[in-house]
Amino acid sequence: QLKTTTTAAASRDFTEDRLWLNGEEADVGHPRLQACLREGERPPTPSTPGWPGGVSLTRTPPSCPLAVRRLARKRRGDGTEDAASLSLSYKIHIATENNFPTAAGLASSAAGYACLVSALARLYGVEGELSEVARRGSGSACRSMLGGFVQWQRGERPDGRDSLAHQVAPETHWLELRVLVLVVSGEKKQVGSTAGMQTSVETSPLLKHRAEVVVPERLALMIRHIRERDFEGFGQLTMQDSNQFHATCLDTFPPIFYLNDVSRHIIALVHRFNAHHGCTKVAYTFDAGPNAVIFTLADTVAEFVEVVRRSFPPAANGDQWWWGLPAGSRGLPGARIRHPAPPNPFPAPQPGPGPQFVDDPSQHLLDADGMPRCRA
């Protein structure tokens, strides 16, 4: 229900590589994009257990031979190409779209780079392990290369080549699990994830302790909760880790404020809801942004959605307040608690698979000439 769609095309008629993001042409020369596309230098970017998705502090060295074009060249042996092989000298056009806010703390870069690497690999006939390539674009993208519940393994090699994604359980493992996304703000955040992470690594003593002591223990515990489908343990640990991550943001100098007043209202609402039931029925987590990701089970969705509807009346949003899976209906007595209403959308997906290839040409983002389609 939340997705990024990417189309890549190559042609001898293209005069330059080009990229369109959500219908607008973007900089195809961005170092992270080029790190996935061709051989060359990638600026060393740390990833760390203190930040969402990070499980290592690794740096990719210059000219690391893992970009898709270089992998394609390497796997063609001596560099010669048969008639069926796509020429590596052709320029490419890439179009990518998100059906959710971009750069707003909802993992648009993780989804985008996973899509990009998968599309390029299909284009050039590259198979095998690709999560390390995706990681060069966005650390968390390595996890998005697989479906369901995925661990980003720390690895031991100095060059980071063994810092890969590993599936803990497929998306079919916990069919009752639901993920509600409360979009507090669709605006681009003021402090990007990479810049914020680098500043935290440099200035936060709490982050160092978190990376070395807290995360390894919590990672093993979280995997156990997932495998056992223990929502009580899963939910509590999710909230505790989200809170500590944002504590490291405050411990950073100068401090980083990703949460806003509505974010904090949502946190309080979740704890009141759980206290009312006497157990953990819903759990929140916040990435590097103000938007809330809520985990719950299918039998709780309708009740919690009604609580959110009463707390954040959707009058300003009308019918667009909710989309995704059906929520059902659950009447609740009592008065509304009026807080600022989150803007559209309020989607409800299930845990999903990894990248899926779209065979329907009508869904492709590029036309037969390799240019963006006009989409309503």
State the residue for tokens 């009752």. Answer: 176
What's the mean per-residue pLDDT of the chain?
81
pLDDT at 316 over 80: no
Beta bridge partners of 97: 5
Most confident among 49-63, 192-206, 283-297, 344-358 (mean pLDDT): 283-297
pLDDT at 146 over 80: yes
CA 75 → CA 83, 133, 223, 268, distances in Å? 16, 15, 35, 54
Residue 359 has a pLDDT of 86
Mean per-residue pLDDT, 329-357: 61
Residue 241 has a pLDDT of 96
Q: Which string of b and e fits 316-342 if b means at least 16 CB within 10 Å?
A: ebeeebbebbebeeeeeeeeeeebebb
pLDDT at 134 over 70: yes
Fold of the CATH domain 1-38+65-169+354-375: Ribosomal Protein S5; domain 2 (3.30.230)
Q: What whole-number distance in Å separates Cα of residue 57 and Cα of residue 211?
A: 9
Q: What whole-number distance in Å separates Cα of residue 19 and Cα of residue 25?
A: 6
Count of Cβ atoms closer than 10 Å to residue 172 Cβ: 11
Q: Which long-range contacts (CB under 8 A, 24 or more apart) does 190-195 make?
A: 191/256, 191/258, 191/288, 192/103, 192/288, 193/51, 193/105, 193/109, 193/287, 193/288, 194/45
Q: What are the sequence ranges of the domains in the chain? A: 1-38+65-169+354-375, 174-350
Half-sphere exposure of 281 (CA within 13 A, CB side): 20
Residue 105 makes CB contacts below 8 A (sequence gap 6+) with 189, 193, 258, 286, 287, 288, 289, 290, 291
Residue 129 identity (one-letter amino acid): E
As a CATH number, domain 174-350 is 3.30.70.890
**Percent of the chain that is helix, strand, coil (3-state, to 5):** 35, 15, 50
